[in-house]
Structure 1
Amino acid sequence: MKRRRAGDSADGLREQSQESAVPVQARRRKTHVYVVSHTVEAVVHLCSLGVLTAAGCEIGSVHAVEYPRHVYDAVLFNNEVYILKIRWKELYPYVTEFVLLESNWTFTGLPKPYVFSSVRDEFKFLEARLTYGQVPGRFRKGENPFVEEAYQRLALDYLLKQAGIQ
């Protein structure tokens, strides 16, 4: 048995205060619209259902996108090939450009080989969307590991610009 919260009506819709943008009758017609609020997500949802007019859709600067969005996935790579493969196979339909930066040093100053270049054949499915870069480590003995991480993240920012991010 499903529990009802205080304020829920018999059909499962949550009743709203009088300043609600959409009358209860309109919400009941659209049974999957439970709560009306003035958050951007709710406004976008109500506009897509046709409940709000075009003027109402301007609440919170919500408007139709006239150009395609680009999604970038940027990764500082250590040696987690299996995890990277799972991540990229899951994100492949949604990501425009994959960006990977690899160093020959860990953040803590330990030397390591460049792993990705040796397993790049496993990622042929996204080769056209891949921007790959290598950065030599610059770790100094006794230095805070966060300094090396910041250095690599700055290099990743540069690589993102090369990949086309604006």
Structure 2
Amino acid sequence: MGIFDRNTAEHETAPINVTVERGAVAFFAETIGETNPIHFDADAARAAGHPDVVTPATYPVVIEMAAAKIGKRNGVPDTQDVIKVDNRYVLHGSESYTYHGPIYAGDTVEVISRVKSFADAKGGALEIANLELEIRHPERGVLAVAERTLIHRLPKEKQG
């Protein structure tokens, strides 16, 4: 029964282009307490052999939010809308990142969101959505893949 729209399994968004902005990266890095200057100082990043400021490890979540905003402005629903997340019952399950290359300020990256699968747990009291986000650069290929789970804690009438 559940709440998630399970017919959306294997749904993939069209690529959305996001430009990584130096100021946003520096602000994020400072906000999370990052102390390595390659994340907020372009000169330090260049001295370390990078073309520009390097995004911190958790920055893909910022890129995902930017892609969702761009998509909504263009009439494209984000993944949570597609699978019909009910924020009254949603819990954050897990999140992991696999990195294939650095993301730099100034990069314009393609963002693709995928609905991988759905599952049930706790005798039908929970339903789980398995999602994936891919960030890729046109020349450098896939830079990062984020996997996460969203969980609906189902009310009794929705438990199946």
TM-score by length of structure 2 reads 0.21
Task: Pick the structure with more strand per residue.
Answer: 2
Instruction: Please identify the structure whose Cα radius of gyration is greater.
Output: 1
Could you say which structure has the greater relative contact order, defined with CA pairs below 8 angstroms and 6 or more residues apart?
A: 2
Task: Pick the structure with more helix per residue.
Answer: 1
TM-score by length of structure 1 reads 0.21
